[in-house]
Structure 1
Amino acid sequence: MQSAPAGESMRAGHPVQPSQRMPPLSALRECLSFQADEPPQSFLSRLFGVHPIAREARRSFSGALAELAVMESLSALGSEWTVVHSVPVAGHKQDDHRLVEHRVIDHLVIGPAGIFTLSVESHAGQALWVGERTFIADGERLDHLAKADETGRAVTRLLGSALAAAGVALEIVVTPCVVVDAPATLEVRQRPGRIQVVTARSFSAWLTGLPRLISPTVLEEVVAVAVAASSWPSSPLDHLDTEADAHERRAEFERLRLRVSSARLRRLLWTGLGVVVSYGAVIVNLGGLTALELTSALGR
């Protein structure tokens, strides 16, 4: 897999070059932000395995796990595939006293099987049901499909215009993908048009198993246009990290994930110890009974 940033933006008055664009990892950033305001755990809390994640950060913690699972899946793609991170599809400007907010695609994937937009959604442990126009998670109807369709249309329009301007004669087809992490079940009753709903674990295998639709020569031209900053709206994203910043955030999150695993293990150990002590107390009590009393107790 080739990783290529896209889009040029402004940060603190200085242009952020395409080579500095990193994956958004929005949930991971939010989780660490919540945790930064959380006081350190006490010795007893650590000893008894109290959950180290603040309650308001637990949803974003799950989302961060989904983001990292997708990143791992993308890293398994071969060299024919290019991944463009944090692609802006709408600018952020003042227009007739109206503020137009930016929108950013998590990942744009381009390869032999076509062009794919990825929207990462966290639904760990949930039952998912997908219909032609419906996405339901544990009984709650969500708008993932509508957002994915809107994103796919935006990329089709923007990338199509950029290719035409570059003289590349290609009618592109963009496949929007909703990538979900670790659901309990995923039932796709009816495929929602051109949108694909795939788990993070199976995404790379599904993608590489698709038939080739773009020749190597045309693919090279498409990638060259897709990674150009001029192909996308300028968007002053204030959350862009340098590579060093991104690695530090990942390392901080990994330390947090280790604390969560350690706390879970301690809770299991205390639970197991409680069971052992309870059985021990029962055995000790039974040991003090006479044979007649024991027979009578067991016969009740």
Structure 2
Amino acid sequence: MASLASRPPAASVIAQVLRAQSTAPRRSRVDRLFGRSPLAPDADSWFRGALGELAVAQRLAGLGPEWRVIHAVPVGTRGADIDHLVIGPTGVFTVNTKHHAGRSVWVGERRVMVDGQRKDHLRNAAHEAARASRRLSAATGVAVDVAPLVVIVGASRLTANARSAQVVVLSSGSVAGWLRSRPWFLPPESVDSIAAAASDLATWNAAPAPEPDLAAFADLREQIGRARFRRRVWTGGLLVGLVGVTMTAPLWVGTVLAGTVIR
């Protein structure tokens, strides 16, 4: 790995997806016909995490030429990584992506709740930023402050009841605008210096991370999409058939079938 600057978004998580997926049995012809998902159960959470990181990376790509964004930064020897490290005129930020599709997310001063369940997003993000600050300060020889962000992807509702003193929680749609809106204070030479240190694997005391098979991941996404489409077709056909039955069958049959669908 020549430089972390060229590391693709979600590289670490994609590698985990493919590792878990390697144990999945092949689908039968009937499975494919009826749209059974090819995704292994152990790969599901990793897959959703990868989609979240890719979505946020796409938002960060629009920041502009003054900014440097490094993805999937490996840290230490235990497999940890920083989803996105953002360096620009308004400062240095770690971005911890959380994909909570369709969930209700509540943000308080000291905690984040997802569908009523407490999550350690704030604590983990603060630890991540403090660790990055120490590493970058040692590598550059100057104090580098790093601010932690948690970026929520896909939530049906994001309610901020209070703000954390340390960690900023944002939706994926607002992260780029928020970063650009902060006061500018880092000159271009400082941005370049910090980005150079951040791109060096030695800064993070990490072993080289294997590069994921992006083509295999793209193929898996396509298979999942086709399976989802087939399930929708079958579900739609079933509903149309039930509607037809209720229109032509005796009244009591239609009532029973309609009640079954509603339940």
Would you say same fold, with TM above 0.5?
Answer: yes
Distance in structure 2 (CA, Å) of the matches to 1:59 and 1:197: 21
Equivalent residues of 1:89, 1:158 under 8 A apart:
no
1:105-124 equivalences under 5 Å are 105-124=82-101
Distance in structure 2 (CA, Å) of the matches to 1:106 and 1:182: 17
Rate the CA distance shift 1:282–1:122 in 2: closer, same or farther, 3 A.
Answer: closer
- 5+ long unaligned stretches in structure 2: 252-263
1:255 is matched with which residue? 219
Moved over 6 A (4+): none
Equivalent residues of 2:4, 2:200 under 8 A apart:
no
1:92-171 equivalences under 5 Å are 92=77, 101=78, 103-164=80-141, 171=143
1:235 is matched with which residue? 206
1:13 is matched with which residue? none
Could you tell me the percent identity over the aligned residues?
35
Equivalent residues of 2:4, 2:199 under 8 A apart:
no
SS of equivalent to 2:217? helix
Rate the CA distance shift 1:282–1:45 in 2: closer, same or farther, 3 A.
Answer: same
2:152 is matched with which residue? 180
1:2-81 equivalences under 5 Å are 16-18=1-3, 22-23=7-8, 25-81=11-67
1:212 correspondence with 2:184:
yes
Rate the CA distance shift 1:228–1:61 in 2: closer, same or farther, 3 A.
Answer: closer
Rate the CA distance shift 1:266–1:111 in 2: closer, same or farther, 3 A.
Answer: same
1:11 is matched with which residue? none
Equivalent residues of 1:69, 1:201 under 8 A apart:
no
Rate the CA distance shift 1:131–1:162 in 2: closer, same or farther, 3 A.
Answer: same
Distance in structure 1 (CA, Å) of the matches to 2:72 and 2:93: 14
What is the CA distance between 1:229 and its match in structure 2?
4.8
TM-score (norm 1): 0.74
2:68 is matched with which residue? 82
Rate the CA distance shift 1:209–1:33 in 2: closer, same or farther, 3 A.
Answer: same
What one-letter code is carried by the residue in structure 1 that aligns with 2:245? Answer: A
What is the CA distance between 1:213 and its match in structure 2?
2.1
Considering only CA atoms, is the larger Rg found in Structure 1 or Structure 2?
1
Range 104-113 or range 251-260, more displaced? 251-260
- 5+ long unaligned stretches in structure 1: 1-15, 93-100, 288-300
What is the CA distance between 1:37 and its match in structure 2?
1.6
What one-letter code is carried by the residue in structure 2 that aligns with 1:17? Answer: A
Distance in structure 2 (CA, Å) of the matches to 1:254 and 1:31: 12
TM-score (norm 2): 0.83
What is the CA distance between 1:225 and its match in structure 2?
3.8
Rate the CA distance shift 1:187–1:19 in 2: closer, same or farther, 3 A.
Answer: closer
1:297 is matched with which residue? none
